[in-house]
Chains A and B, each alone.
Chain A
Amino acid sequence: MDHSVLAAAREEAHATPLDTLDMSDPKRFAAGTALPFFERLRKEAPVHYQPNGLYGPYWSITKYKDIMATDTNHKVFSSAHGITLVEPRSEELKAPMFIAMDPPKHDDQRKAVSGIVAPNNLANMENLIRSRTIQVIEQLPVGVPFDWVEKVSVNLTTQMLATLFDFPFEDRHLLPHWSDTATTVGMTEAEMDAREAELQNMLKYFVRLWNERVNAPPKTDLISMLAHNPATRNMPPREYMGNLILLIVGGNDTTRNSMTGGLKFLNEFPGEYDKLRSNPSLIPNMVSEIIRYQTPLAYMRRTALEDFELHDKTIRKGEKLAMWYVSGNRDSDSIPDADRFMIDRKNVRSHLSFGFGIHRCVGNRLAELQLKILWEELLKRYPRIDVLAEPTRVPSSFVNGYLSMKVQIPA
């Protein structure tokens, strides 16, 4: 990022009265200037209440240790009222998903799908992921600019997702389309109606796949697993929709944006890119550092089930809070020199990006595997890939990611 833009953002962050700071507003994420504002919150108001947030009143938790304590206290801080600050338009339009449930229902539904990313299954998938990765990157144009997000990040994560669902491969472009549909916020009534209609199309498509599989012998794809597990086989349609959104967004947006972020960071820290070229065995460590530095989901929301004292503040029963992973991951009190991207960082796996506690990302090992393979294969073919311009960013305070990033492989 242009240093003058960041310097201006830092100045603005310190000039903005604390009581008007609203990090749920996507504008600073769209501009790529959110971090200096979190820096100020961590220093001056680590437990910060905003009564006039864009999506209603909420608390911001911004320090690593406070986020860890909140995330692991699921008895006080419930997920069952939603995991984003945005409220559903109505009760009927809610789409329940297991990440937004508390035990015991959460536990049963999560277990219905977690086997797909079990260690032996991951080992089975490795060859397929590698051959597809090679195919995609060998077709990249050399000596001309292209969009990394489209040609690499979206392409690879879409193929992966199609495999996990055993989704008709020729229709796989629908998956990122539905992912984007589900995560788009800040719309007019008409746009929200159109969004709802598109999610109904998604549901219709997936109901067809469900019906094919529910009467067939169980297989190891996510839909068959849901259709055959006692905890999920009688889900009402909206709950099927909710869990689909969870699996599509969780398996798509996050890894996609880490695939883009990684290349961006290596360009911003050329010394680290040199380190990588001279020592490719750093890749697994680098993958965790990329996921920390990107933090593809900026926060998770919780709702207090009882009054709770945190430092000198009282979070009241029923109030919402955002655990800003994107801020905790830059908290130098817990992660030394946190604003530096260091591919050989010690204790690199302690980052918050996957969350901690019972809602910890179920697909974390698969995400790491995809990123590891991508960088192993890229490095063998292209020792350098140049980022040509600042990427355009997703206008969301939840999905911390990129719409496009122009790059070029030197001829």
Chain B
Amino acid sequence: MPKVNFISFAGKTYTADVAEGTTVMRAAVDNGVPGIDGDCGGQCACATCHVFIEPEWQSKTGARTEPESAMLEFADGTKPNSRLGCQIEVTKALDGLTVRMPEGQH
């Protein structure tokens, strides 16, 4: 199963083994990784699964969708590598994906 690494704002790394097709948001929520809420359940409607994609993974995770950009407009500390975890599906090609968490979900 592909692995996803989450680095908390304080610098702690959590690793989750997830089935292909799982979203990055679900990977965190279902494996008890703190710092990702996913309030809307993956509808791209709350921006509480905001993550920063590590530079080496950016080309593989692809671009934001339009509704995703609209929601990220209102997240705190949005950067060019900001994504919503619910909009990224984990595939074999993303095995080892590393994302960083913001200070808080907002």
A→B interface (CB under 8 Å): 68, 71-72, 103, 107, 110-111, 114-115, 117-120, 122, 347, 349-350, 354, 356-358, 360, 362, 365
Contact of B45 among A117, A357, A365 (CB under 8 A): A357
Known: A72-B67, A360-B46. A350 touches B106 (CB 8 A): no
A103 and B70 within 8 A (CB): yes
Nearest chain-B residue to A360 (Cβ)? B46
Contact stretch, chosen from B10-18, B33-41, B87-95: B33-41
B44 contact set on A, CB distance < 8 A: 72
Given contacts A72-B67, A358-B70, 11 further A-B contacts (CB under 8 A): A68-B45, A72-B45, A111-B73, A111-B74, A114-B74, A118-B77, A349-B39, A356-B46, A358-B71, A358-B73, A360-B74
B54 contact set on A, CB distance < 8 A: none
Task: Show 30 A/B contacts (Cβ-Cβ < 8 Å), sorted by A.
Answer: A68-B43, A68-B45, A71-B45, A72-B44, A72-B67, A107-B73, A107-B74, A111-B74, A114-B76, A114-B106, A115-B76, A117-B106, A118-B104, A119-B76, A119-B102, A119-B104, A119-B106, A347-B41, A349-B48, A350-B40, A356-B43, A356-B46, A357-B45, A358-B70, A358-B71, A358-B73, A358-B74, A360-B46, A362-B74, A365-B106
Distance A285 CA – B103 CA, assembled complex (angstroms): 20
A349 and B37 within 8 A (CB): yes
B74 and A350 within 8 A (CB): no
A119 contact set on B, CB distance < 8 A: 76, 102-104, 106
A114 contact set on B, CB distance < 8 A: 74, 76, 106
Distance A354 CA – B106 CA, assembled complex (angstroms): 12
A118 contact set on B, CB distance < 8 A: 76-77, 104, 106
A72 contact set on B, CB distance < 8 A: 43-45, 67
Tell me the chain B residues, 56-71 only, with Cβ under 8 Å from chain A. 67, 70-71
Enumerate the 5 nearest inter-chain pairs by beta-carbon distance, A residue then B residue, closest first: A119-B104, A356-B45, A119-B103, A349-B39, A118-B76
B71 contact set on A, CB distance < 8 A: 357-358
Distance A306 CA – B26 CA, assembled complex (angstroms): 34
A120 and B103 within 8 A (CB): yes
Distance A350 CA – B73 CA, assembled complex (angstroms): 21
Distance A332 CA – B55 CA, assembled complex (angstroms): 43
A356 contact set on B, CB distance < 8 A: 40, 43, 45-46
B74 and A110 within 8 A (CB): yes
